[in-house]
Amino acid sequence: MTQLDQVEMQRLVKLYDLECYLFGEVSSRFKERQTLTPYDFFAIIVWKSNRAKTKIKRGLADCGKTVDGLMWEVSQAETPECKVEILDEIPGIGLPMASAILTVCYPDTFTVLDERAWEVLRKDLAEDLPNHYPQNISEYLQYCDVCRHRADQHKLSLRDFDRFLWAKSWEDDLYKLIKGL
């Protein structure tokens, strides 16, 4: 193999662990440039929900927005509410997808809105949250606040706390499946 082939192989090996790529390289590039390339933006989309990519691409086109322009607008928004709102206005994005995009871009402020993680937090760790899955920006930001507080209590990063919540749900489901085998 040529040197170029080795470089390409190593680049693609990094992509295999998409979450590591997103929270390493993409987060750093966003912090530096205050925007995302279409490649990095849609890598986040695919990571959160592959089936949403075409709908979101259409939503951007319908609004006459580019990824670069949209993400620049997000980076310039002054409040977390405004950042979420800008993304949520794009057809096909919605709160869960907006949360994934914002989590990669601002991993110390936002966390992924995921039904698994939400249910573990609500049921096991934060009974003070509403009984329903967040349905608006205010409820999502309340979820982020509770997660940040719990992460701090347990000396975890917000991202690791989200991973913990998701993994707990996943493991509980697996134990239910194999019970009695």
pLDDT in tens, 92-136: 999 999 999 999 999 999 999 999 999 999 887 666 787 889 999
Q: Clarify whether residues 145 and 99 are in a common domain.
A: no
Q: pLDDT tens for residues 37-91?
A: 999 999 999 999 999 999 999 999 999 999 999 999 999 999 999 999 999 999 9
* pLDDT score at 5: 82
Tell which of 108, 131, 160 closes a domain: 108
Average pLDDT over residues 153-164: 96
* pLDDT score at 2: 59
Distance CA 31, CA 46 (A): 21
Tell which of 108, 129, 159 closes a domain: 108
What is each CA distance from 91 to 57, 64, 95, in whole angstroms? 9, 12, 11
Q: Of 142, 148, 179, whose CA–CA distance to 165 is shortest? A: 148
Q: Clarify whether residues 120 and 85 are in a common domain.
A: no
What type of residue sits at position 150? R
Q: Clarify whether residues 165 and 145 are in a common domain.
A: yes
Six-digit token string for 167: 């993994």
Q: Clarify whether residues 101 and 119 are in a common domain.
A: no
* pLDDT score at 131: 81
Q: Domain limits at 91?
A: 1-108
Residue 66: is it exposed, middle or buried by C-beta count within 10 angstroms (0-12/13-18/19+)? middle
* pLDDT score at 114: 93
Q: How many domains does the chain have?
A: 2
Q: Which residues contact 142 (CB under 8 A, 6 or more apart)?
A: 129, 134
Q: Clarify whether residues 96 and 156 are in a common domain.
A: no
What is each CA distance from 109 to 24, 38, 124, 169, in whole angstroms? 16, 23, 22, 23
